[in-house]
Amino acid sequence: MTKSQSASGGVALWRQIADAIRLDIVGGKLANGDRLPTEALLAERFSANRHTVRRALAVLAEEGVVAAEQGRGTFVKSIRRLTYPIGKRTRFREGLKGQAGSLVSVSISDKIENATARVAEALGLKPGTKVVRTESMSVADGVPISRSTTWLPYRRFPDFAARIKEMQSTTMVFQSYEIADYSRASTRISARHADVEETRSLNLAPGAIVLVSEAVDVDPEGEPLSYALTRFPAERMELVV
Amino acid sequence: MTKSQSASGGVALWRQIADAIRLDIVGGKLANGDRLPTEALLAERFSANRHTVRRALAVLAEEGVVAAEQGRGTFVKSIRRLTYPIGKRTRFREGLKGQAGSLVSVSISDKIENATARVAEALGLKPGTKVVRTESMSVADGVPISRSTTWLPYRRFPDFAARIKEMQSTTMVFQSYEIADYSRASTRISARHADVEETRSLNLAPGAIVLVSEAVDVDPEGEPLSYALTRFPAERMELVV
DNA sequence: AGTAGTTGTCTAGTTTATTAGACAAATCGA
DNA sequence: TCGATTTGTCTAATAAACTAGACAACTACT
C-alpha cells in the first residue's frame, strides 16, 4: 500500500522526512557530529520505506546538512540558525554581529515608482507619491540569509539607491542624510512558502518556508523613513523580539 | 512531459498552486467576492494543465476559501488573517479582542514533569526542577488559531492546571496567585511545517505552515513566570511587534 | 434563439512517489 | 578472521500526480 500524498496534502513523504530531520538539526536536538538513527530506524519512525528515507537523506546530504559514510552511519555536518534581534532599536548588521564570520549585503536593483496603497500607508504618504524602491539581499558566511524590498519617500531620499550601493549599510546612508538616529515603529511578521524568485535568489529547496517581516523605521520626530519587506529562510534564521 | 516533483522539491504542483492562490487571498490581492482568473488562465500562469489547477481549486473550495459556479467562474469567499500584537505588555485575549466574534481557549491536558535544559534555562531554574506543563488551544469564530504548550515552576504554581481550566485566562490565574501584573521578557519567532499532531488539532491541510512563538513572561521583579511555546497557523494569523 | 465563455466530467497515457526484497560493500568489535 | 551492523545499488510492482483532448452543462449577453 502506498502512502497517499492526498492524505499528506500534496507534500511528498521524502520531503516531510527531510524537513523533520532538518528541524531536529537546526533546532538543536541533533548536534554537529552526532550520528543519525540508522536508515532502518528512521523508516520505522516515519512509517516509511527505507528507500524513501534514503531519498530524504540524499536531499539533506546535497544541502550539506548531513553526510553518509558506508558501514558507519550518517552524521550531522551542520550549522545552527542565526538569531536576528528585533526591538525599538533594530540594526541589521549590529544584530547579527558575532554570529557569522562574514556578512555581506548586496544591492540588486532599484527604481523609482509610485506608491501602492500599502506602501503609501506604511510611509504616511498619499498613494501614487514617488518612492524609491530597492531590492537587496544579505549573505552570511556564503549562505543567503535575507532578501529585502525597501521603499523610501523619493522627496527626502532622491539619491538613496546610489548611496546604499556605495555604503552597504542603511544606518550609514541615513547618517549621510543628516539622520543621526532612527527607530523601529512596527514589525509585522508572517510566514509562507518561498516563491520562485526567492527559491532561486536565496538558494532554497523549492517549497521551503520564509519568514516575512514588514518593518517601518521612523526618525526621532516619528516621521516614517522606510518600509522594508524582508524575507528570511526559516531554516536559517529566527527572530527574537 | 510531466512537470517533475523533484524539480519542485517534493511539493505537488497542485499544492503549490493552491498555496499561491490562497496567499493572494489572505494577502489582500484578491478581495471577498472577486472573481478568480479562469481555469484556463490560471493553467497558463502556472504552466500547468487545467486539471491540475482544478485540483488546487478543489482544495481551496473545501477549505471554504473559494466557491466555483458553473458557467460563471470561481469566486473568493474569504477571510482575512487575524493580527496578534506582541510587545512588553502582551495579553492574548486583549490583543485579539475586536478581531473575532468569539474567542474560546481550551485546556487539553496537563502534567507535572522535570524541566528539560531548554525549559529550565527559560524559567531560570536548574534542569530537572519540577514544572507544570499544560497543553491548550484557542478557537476564534469556530476556527482554531493557536496551539500552546506552557511550562511554569511547580513550586510557585502547584495548582496552575486546575485554575487555568476554571478561569480560561492566564492573566486571571496569575491574579489569583497575587500577581497583579506581568510582562513579556522575550519572544522568539520561527516558522516550520506543521507536524502531524498540529495538523490534526489545528485542522490544517497537511504541509501547512505554523508560526512558532517561544515566549517568557516575568513578574514585575523580573522573575520568570512562564515559558510558552505557541504554534499559530500562518495562513490565519500574523504577529505584529 | 443563438453564441461565446466558463465550469463539470470522462477517458487515456506518461512520469513520479512509494513500497518490497535481495545482495554488495564498507566498518567495527569480539 | 568472523560476524553483526550499516550504507550503497539494483530490479520490480503499485499508487498518485500530471498531461492531453473531447464534450456536456450552465451563464450571460446580443
Per residue in A106-117, pLDDT (tens digit) is: 899 999 999 999
* Segments of chain A with pLDDT less than 50: 1-7
pLDDT of residue A78: 65
- Taking an 8 Å cut-off on Cβ atoms, the answer to whether B239 and A188 are in contact is yes
Distance from CA of A206 to the nearest CA of B (A): 5
Averaged pLDDT for residues B121-145: 92
For residues A198 and A49, give the distance between their C-alpha atoms in angstroms, rounded to a whole number: 32
Contact with chain B for residue A192, Cβ under 8 A = yes
B10 contacts in A (CB within 8 Å)?
11-12, 14-15, 18, 59, 207
pLDDT, chain B, mean: 87
How confident is the model over B161-189, as a mean pLDDT? 90
The residue ranking higher by pLDDT, B153 or B5, is: B153
Pick from A189, A195, A191, A186: which is nearest to A225 by CA?
A186
**CB contact A98 to B (< 8 Å):** no
Question: Residue B206: which pLDDT band, with cuts at 50, 70 and 90?
Answer: low
Chain A residues closer than 8 Å to B14 by CB:
10
Amino acid at B129: T
| pLDDT for the residue numbered A6 | 36
Distance (Å, whole) CA B59 – CA B63:
6
Mind listing the pLDDT tens digit for each residue in B75-103?
Answer: 998 667 889 999 888 899 888 888 887 88
Query: Is 80 exceeded by the pLDDT of residue B3?
Result: no
DSSP label of B32: T
Q: What is the pLDDT of residue B219?
A: 93
| Bases of strand D lying below 7 A from some protein CB | 5-11, 14-21, 25-28
Inter-chain touch A19–B192, beta carbons under 8 Å: yes
SS3 A21: helix
Q: Hey, are the CB atoms on B12 and A7 less than 8 Å from each other? A: no
Write the CB contacts of A62 (distance below 8 Å, at least 6 apart in sequence): none
Question: What's the pLDDT score for residue B78?
Answer: 65
Contact B195 A20 (CB under 8 A): yes
- The predicted pLDDT at position A3 comes to 36
Q: How far is Cα of residue A29 from the mean position of the Cα atoms in its chain?
A: 22
> What's the Å distance between residue B198 CA and nucleotide C25 C1'?
42
| Confidence category of residue B8, pLDDT binned at 50, 70, 90 | low
User: CB–CB of A225/A152 below 8 Å?
Assistant: yes
Domains for chain A: give ranges and CATH numbers: 6-76 (1.10.10.10), 82-240 (3.40.1410.10)
B234 and A8 within 8 Å at the Cβ level: the answer is no
- The Cα–Cα gap between B24 and A58 comes to 33
Distance A226 CA to C18 C1' (A): 50
B99 burial (CB, 10 Å; 0-12 / 13-18 / 19+) is middle
pLDDT of residue A168: 83
- Set of chain A residues whose Cβ sits within 8 Å of the Cβ of B19: 192-193
Option in A10, A199, A241 nearest B12 (CB): A10
Average pLDDT over residues B6-19: 75
**Closest CA of chain A from B18, distance in Å:** 10
pLDDT at B146 over 90: yes
DSSP E strand boundaries for A23-165: 66-69, 73-76, 82-85, 103-114, 130-140, 143-153
How many distinct helices (H) and strands (E) make up chain A?
8, 10
Contact B177, B157 (CB under 8 A): yes
Closest CA to A144 of A221, A226, A208: A208
- Given a cut of 60, whether residue B7 has pLDDT beyond it is no
Q: Kindly state the average pLDDT of the residues B63-69.
A: 86
Distance CA A145, CA A208 (A): 13
Alpha-carbon span B60 to A73, nearest angstrom:
42
The angle formed by the CA atoms of residues A16, B237 and A126, to the nearest 5 degrees, is 125
Q: How many CB pairs (< 8 A) connect A and B?
A: 120
d(CA A159, CA A151): 13
